[in-house]
Every structure is written in C-alpha cells, then in structure tokens.
Structure 1
Amino acid sequence: MAIEVIQPDVFLLGLRIQEPVTTITDLFVSAANFYGYYRIQKAGFTDNSRRFLKIYFLLMGFATALGGLLAHGFLYFFGDPWKIPGWFLSMIGIMFIERSAIEHSKNLVNKKTGSFFLKANLVELAIMMSLAAYTLDFRVVEFHSAYGVLGVVLAFHLYVFRKTRDIGSRWFLWGVVLLIIATFIFNYPIIIDPWFTHADFAHILMMIATFFFIQGGLHLGKLPADTQRTSEVLATSES
C-alpha cells in the first residue's frame, strides 16, 4: 500500500500547487514518453510492434501529464474523480505495450497463444477500467499495470531474448526491472525527504525505464553479431 506523505504546497503567483515535486517528476515522465513517440515516429518504422509502441508512448505521455496536474498539483480543485482520465489513458497505454510485445514475438510463439493473450488483454482491460471507475482505488491501476508489464511484456520479451538474443527485447527487460523497483519504492516508505518522496523517486525510475523502452523500440529485431544466423526469424515478424 502506498504511504501517505505530505509534501508542502507552494504558491506561484498566488496559484496553489500541491505536491510540487511530485507534479514536476510526473511531468518528467510525460516528457520522456512524448520524446519516445517522437523518436519512434521519426525512425519511420511501419511494423505493428512499433506502431503499438508509439501509441503506448503517446497515451502514457498524456496520462502522466494529467496525473501530475489533476491528481497531484491541482487535486484540491478537481477532486478524486478527475484522477480517472489519467488512469484510463495509462491503462489503455499498458494494453498497447502488451500488444507490441505480442506482435514482436508472433513468429516465435504458437499462433493460438498469441491470439489468446491479445483477446485476454482486452477483457482484462475492460474489467479493470470498470473497477477503477467504481472504486477510485489506484491499486486497481497498479494491478492492471503489473499484469501487463510482468505477465505479458516481461514474459514475451524474455521468450524472444532467450530464443534470439534480440537487442531490443534486452532493453525492454532492463526497463521492466526498473519498473519493478519503482513499484516497490512507490508502495513502501523509502522516503528521502518531504521534498523528494518515494513517489518522486519512483517517477525518476519510471522516466529512466521509459528511455530504456525507447532504445528497445529502436533496436527491436536487431541481434548481436554472434546470433545473426537467426535474424531471418525476426525479420519476418517485423515485416
């Protein structure tokens, strides 16, 4: 369970901002995701895996911006129900990074397995979004993210990496490790200072993980020199 820490308010030109550092670090995560969208878009990839990844970056960029502003900085004005837009965007974003991982592995996994997970993540998303709206409990969002990141993204990229040593999948695995650490820090009292709380620390790790995911997206399908003999397998899946 997340620990409640009161970060002092600040006033900028008479405007009250709650949890100012948490708001700023959330906006850092947002900027990193928008940068990820820009990098993947600029690279000109046309495969479904990267297309879904771009959508993930875009949605998470908006989600974390709304989270920082509505759920932290100006929560006193908007109230708890306004947490929902950011939550929903992030939950849909997680669905797209799941689909990106599944698409990247489609030439290596059983077709029925891939199809099952593609359908399951839609059902799970609908259930979790309904629960989040009904309960206004962030733990529902965390559960959805844990399922998507650990049950799908980690599992599929680990499978691809073990089979092919794919450089992009390796970047994703390191990004997932950082997100696991960030989740632990967010939910337990690892507090450096009221001006830099566990939430702020977790946001910084999330930002770094986002840069790992960007590198993953840019390197999907690329293999180390000693495993080039398997390159045709992923080349087919990325076409």
Structure 2
Amino acid sequence: MAGYHLDLHLLHLFEGLTAAETDQFLAGMNASVRRYEKGKYVLQAGKKNENIGVIVEGEIQVISEDVHGNESVSHSLERGALVGITTAILPDKAMNLSLVATTNVLVLWIPYNILLTSGARMGRIHGVVMKHLLQVFAWKTVIMAEKIQLLSQKTLRERIVLYLQQKMWRQGVDKVHIPGRIQMAKELECNRSALTRELSIMKAEGIISFEDDWMQLCVEKRL
C-alpha cells in the first residue's frame, strides 16, 4: 500500500525510516488502512483480533465494561497510538476493553503473525519497528500510573486540574483537545452534572477557559 499521502512515515512507529522504507515495510506486512465513523467500535470487547493497529487520524477512547454493564473510560488515544496489541499477541485472553471512535478515525492495521515472522526478510526496517513497539509497552505503564494518580485525587477540582496537566504534557500544548462532557465525566469517574457545575465555577474563578472541544488551564494550580 502507498502511505505517502497519509504521512505514515511520520508516525512514531516508523521513526528513523524513510517514506520509501515505510512503504516497503507496509507492503511486506500486507497492511491496510480502515476508516471508522465517530461513535463506531474500532475494536469490541470479546471480539477476535489478529492485527496491531496504529491511529493515523482522529481520537479513540478505551472503555471497560463490568459484569453489570457499567462503562468506565480508561483513557483517550490519538494519532500515532497503537491499539489491539494485547488481543493480537494473546488471542486466547478475553479482554473487557472496547475501543470507540470519538471522532472520525483512520487506523493502519498490521497483521501480527506476519510482523512476528518477517524479521529476517525485512532486516533493519523490522528492527526499527520492533524497537518502537517495545517503547509502546513502556508507555502503557506510564498511562496506567497516570490513571491511578488521577483517581487518587481527593476532590473533583483536583482531578480536573491534574487531568488537564496530563493532557498538556501528552499533547505538548497549553490549549488541549478534550472529549465531550459525557466522555470527560467517564474519564474522571464522576457525575456529569457535578463536572459541568465545577467547570463553570472554575471558569468564573479564572482557573480555566474552555469551549466545546478545547480547554486551557489558566493558572498552574489553585484548589
């Protein structure tokens, strides 16, 4: 497949490879790009998956569901993030996580079995990609630690401030992209009405500014 028009060689997974090398790798992997509309499942809990995915455009949320059907948003994933790793590598391990597109999304899918057995054939290119895959596993540990830290905050205001700080760090900007209030409330594990009320108070106090899809922390921290 030709990936030039999507700038696939600029994704972190292919950092260190030229556009031609990236295209060579994707052709050798029999990779494909698929589009998902906002609100659609990218991967659904309990469904078989044989591919490792890379988000090319858009945003995806990781959602877990308990035995009672209650949903809990774990975190959001953006361009360059990898998805489906656990289910592709451990096909017999049932997962209670679903991936849902919160915007229109493009995902690059790479068959895991081909990736696993193509080292000798792909040489250095394969080594570069595998290095970045290992880095992703390290990032998963970081994300889990962030979630634990977020939910350990004593007040909703503390959670909001830390949530924005984490977003600023991850996105590298002061004015961060945020999901809708329902999804944000799920990430913070709080009531949507309580979240909306606290956000309004914080805005009136000059702590944050926001519109529908962005939010900015105006002071470093005021509780």
**Would you say same fold, with TM above 0.5?**
no
What's the TM-score, normalizing by structure 2?
0.29
**As a proportion of its length, which structure holds more helix?**
1
